[in-house]
Structures are given as C-alpha cells and as structure tokens.
Chains A and B, each alone.
Chain A
C-alpha cells in the first residue's frame, strides 16, 4: 500500500494504529457485505464486499503467515490465512470475512493488553530524571544524569527526583522510596544515608555524593533483574511449549484426515482455525509476568517464574534471627566488671574487637566511644564502622597486636603483652578458661532477658562480661502469626545460646527455634527440613547467610536495596527492610500458582470442547474463531488480575 501521498502526520498516525484501522475497516465491510446478503438480488454485491473485507483484513495476516512459513514455523497466521482462502474457495464468503475480522480484532486486543504488561517496566525506567545538578569547579551545572561521575556532588532540590545513587553529605529530608523499595512511608535521610536514583526527595534540599549513575544504579539493576525474571521460563511454561510444538501439526494432520474421510471442507477449515493452542501457550506466561511485575512494584524482586511456582508451595519458613527478626542494630545494654572497673572491661573488649567485622564488635566499639573509656578517638580501618564521635570526647582505642576470629564463638587477641579473649562459653571451654560462678550467674540472668552476653578474659582470668541487646522488629510476632494462619511452619535459626533464643522465640510466638548454630549448622538444618519433605524458604540478609539461602528451596534476602550481591543471588530479594513483605510475597506466589492452573484449565477446556463441537459439526468456522480468540483474551485478562493482586 502506498501512503506517500497522505500528509506526514496522517501517515504516522496510520503506521501507529494500522492494526486498529485495518480491523475497523474490515469490520465495517463485513457488516455491509453481510447486510447486503439479506437483500434478494444483491448476492453478488454481498459476496464482492465480503471478499474485499477478507482481502483488507487478511493482507497483513497473510504477510505474517508467509513470514512464518519462511522461517519454518507453523503459526496461527498461516492457519488463519489457509482457512480464509479455503473458505473463499468453497464459496463461504461470509465465513471467510468473519474469520479474518474476528482474528484481527482478537489479536489487536491481545497486542494492546500485552503492551500494558510490557510497558509497566518502561514506567519504572522513566522514573530517573534526565538531568542532574552537579557541583563542578565550584559552579553548579546541569549535566545529563548518566554522565555524572562517581564521587561528584549532586544537588537535589525539594520535590525533585534523585538522579543518581549516592550518599547524603549535606542537608536532610524525607525521601519517598516507593519506586525502588516499595515502602509506602517516606524515609528520613540525613548525613551518611544512602539514597537511590528514581526516588523522590520531598521537603528538604540534599547534597549527594554519587556512588552510581547511568546504568549502574540500584533501580537499573532492579529493572534488569525483573526483565530477566520475566523472560525466564518456568517449568510449567516449558512443558506447555513442548506440548504446543506437537499439537499444531497433529491438528493439521487431523484436518487433512477429516477432509479425506468426510469430504467436508468446512470441517477441515474449522479444524485449521483451532489448530493453534493460543490460550494454552499465552496464559501461563501472562500470569507469571504480571505477578513478577506486581512484586517488583512492591519492592519484591523475583529471580524468575520458577521461584514463583516454588514459593507458592512453601510450607516452612526459617528465619535467621539477627537482622531479620531483630533490627540488627545491636547495642551494649550492660557491662559488668568482676574485680576490675566496668570501663576497663569495655576497653579490653573494644581493643580485641577493633578489627572484627562482627555486628557485636561495632556495638562494643560504639559503647566504648560513648562512654569515653580511653579519652581519645576511635579510629577504624576496614574494621567495624563506628559513628560515635562526641564533641569534646573522643576515644582512642588502640589496635590489637594480634587478632584471631573464631567463627561463631568470639575473638582471641593480644595487646601490650596481654592476651584478651572475648567470646561465649564455647570459646572459653575451648581455651580451657574457667568461668567463676558470679560471672556465670550474671550471664544467665542477662540471657533470660533475651540478651546476648560475652565474657571478657584478660590473661586467662574472666574479668567481666558485656551484655548486648538487639531489639526485635515490631512486625515480627504479627508476621509469624500470619504465616502460621496460612499453614506455614515457622522456625528461628540463631547462633545465640539456647536461653537467649528461647526468650526471643517465646516473645515472637515462633513454632520452633534452633540455637547455638554455626553458619554451616544453619545450612544443615535447612537441608534436614528439606529431607523431611518440607518446601523451605530461608529468610536472611543475603550476605552472612548466603549458603543457607542457596540451600533453601527459596532464598529470601531482606533489605536488599543497598546490597548488590543480595539482589544478584537471592531467589527473592525484598528491597525494603520490612518483614511484612514475606507473607505478602508468599500469598502472591500462591495466587500466581492458582492463576496459572486456572489459565491452563481454561485453555484445555476450550480446546477440548471446541474440538468436540467442531468434530460434531456443532461449531463452524466463524464460531470456532470467536471461541478461540475469546479464550485467548480470557486468559490474558485473568493473568493480568495479578497486576493488581
């Protein structure tokens, strides 16, 4: 068709809406031709108009059918073209026009609805502003956001979108992080806090030191992950695809066979029309793509449809305690000295722990700075991060001369010719150090209150203990309860001793707890649950418990927005640090599993009934096409319900 003589904007409009225009014109001609058929002496005119409708509507379909054949694919467009040509050949003009019209209408609607699911991600892409205000050589300049260099300072005005990933260096504000983490409430950001490209700065001006720009931002990583997930086939999908490759040739053979036996051309052509298992092939992917898209909008990243299908079967959720059920903000609750000052106990512990990366170490160092136990400044180099500098009082905790971590037990260090051991009972037993009764009583008492106590040993003598507390997350009891209500067993895994673990477990109302576990024990526990026939999800931070996450059927990493490894490796990454997302994610997975089954059922029933009705000559060409297209639309619409689940 040459459109060159039309004005350019008409041409553009036509190119964009070709399908709609063609469908509408075909429909119009079809109605005219069909109406003419009722006039006594207009049979020829009616036939002519109907053939014209078939040609107008069928031109694009035939062209695509030809491409299909050329690339050796037996697709629906080939079959529809054959059916239309065949129908005209046997003088069934009305059916030919009806098939073509119904097919173009159906595929136009399918294309439109699928476009909706496909452009959901596009919307995410458009969240990042195009330009950033950067301070260069003391001047403020507008530069394209993707050209901002790492380390440059970006200025974000109130109400503006943040153009890069970075760290706040000046100003404070509330930031709406919903686009990235799915958190509905704005998050307060000040010095040192991480901000993400695509989030919305609400009320204060911020200066941000860039840590990532362009395609190297958390949002871009999320988008890539979501796309990969949507493109990965789940086991159900690949099963159906394998089935589909045999189904079409089988129906084609049936069509030829039926014609040979019955000489009923109409029957053979009708079989052609239903020879494409459209709804069956399209249904499950639409369900899964919609669910993955919905999850992403709520800050839940899934690795693929496979994990969604598995997550729908979860019947046991294991939680790592620290940082998952608790806030992961360990603080020193109490220091007790036995024979020495409490401050001295804290100082010894701080020296020993200074180079440790354990979460208890940073709590000890923070308390040491707070209490000013050495009258100087805490310096860290690659060890625990300490953000406790008080004006006027800064602590100089000196480095240990030697330092050795005993995983799951504590540290052994030496300083100034003295040996310092900081650790739990197991470590003291290993080192052959006796614990005096009064210390043991103190430790037991703190543990009964849900705290973790570590012994501090100087040259083989226990001189004190430090009690540490990690506040429970408020949502923990409610999350555990809602999982239990959904018939899911809940288990807490922790390296803490039994007494501390029991207190915490009772407080949360969790079904079961396993205490005093080393990292490899956690992995073994997950393995054991799986061998007992459970489908196991493991929830952790995705860094320290990566092995257990990998062992579980579904590894769930929490608060993953800031950690690329968690985004890359977890089967399910919760961007926000919110426990409540877990029951949501499991419920969505269950709904998705059902939705896939519904779609398969709709498709199989349609194909079965249609086949029976066609072979029984109850349904003919146009009716067959109508039901076929109707079922495809039905599964798409059903799958898309998950977008709003």
Chain B
C-alpha cells in the first residue's frame, strides 16, 4: 500500500540543497517518489508502508543536515 507523508523544512538555504534531499529520499528503501520544494520547504513523500515508515524518512532528512518538522 502506498502512503503519503509530508514534512516541512524551513532551513533550506539554496535550491540545490532541496534537490539533494529529494535525491537522498528517492534512493531510500521503500520510497516511491519524493518532491522537495525549495520555495516553501514542503517535502512530500510517497512510500510503500511495508518497506518504509515516516520516522526513517524523517531521519533521512536529518542525516542530510536539515531539521524536518511535521507538516
């Protein structure tokens, strides 16, 4: 089953940073698609709930050095 979750990252400081996070999420186990918007800081992730969970996705964003907040 596909699930969608959202986070908000307020501290992107350049458009490239957002695309880096997007790619890191896309290469995470169980993630089907990820959209990270530099302008609003919104992160939208569609994932397979049998293979990933919001907590790990949140950690993926943290590991890239950003602070995700629940959206």
Contacts and interface: CB of A to CB of B under 8 A. Distances in A.
Indicate, yes or no, whether A interacts with B. yes
B14 A107 contact: yes
A73 B16 contact: yes
A329 interface: no
Interface string B1-43: 0000000101111111101100110010000000001111110
A121 B6 CA distance: 15
B17 A64 contact: yes
Given A107-B13, A111-B11, A118-B10, A71 B20 contact: yes
A111 B37 contact: no
Nearest to A65: B20
B46 interface: no
Contacts of B41: 114, 118
What secondary structure prevails in chain B residues at the interface with A? Answer: loop
A606 interface: no
Nearest to A19: B11
Contacts of B65: 60, 63-64, 67
Interface residues on B, range: 20 to 34
A231 B37 contact: yes
B12 to A, nearest CB: 7
Interface in A87-143: 107-108, 110-111, 114-115, 117-119, 121-122
B64 interface: yes
Contacts of B67: 15-16
Q: Is the interface of A mostly helix, strand, loop or mixed?
A: helix
Given A16-B67, A68-B20, A285 B39 contact: yes
Nearest to A16: B67
B62 to A, nearest CB: 10
A59 B5 CA distance: 31
B40 A75 contact: no
Nearest to B37: A231
B11 A121 contact: no
In this complex, the member of B12, B20, B42, B67 whose beta carbon has the largest number of chain A beta carbons within 10 angstroms is B20
A115 B10 CA distance: 5
B40 A76 contact: no
Interface of B: 8, 10-17, 19-20, 23-24, 27, 37-42, 64-65, 67
A282 B17 contact: no
Nearest to A61: B65
Given A67-B64, A71-B23, A76 B12 contact: no
A294 interface: no
A122 B41 CA distance: 11
Nearest to B36: A231
Contacts of A60: 65
Contacts of B8: 118, 122
B45 to A, nearest CB: 15
> Which of B14, B38, B67 has the most CB atoms of chain A within a 10 A radius of its CB?
B14
Contacts of A179: none
A494 interface: no
A121 B20 contact: no
B40 A119 contact: no
9 closest A-B pairs by beta carbon, nearest first, are A75-B16, A71-B23, A111-B13, A107-B13, A231-B37, A118-B41, A115-B10, A110-B13, A289-B39
Contacts of B17: 64, 75
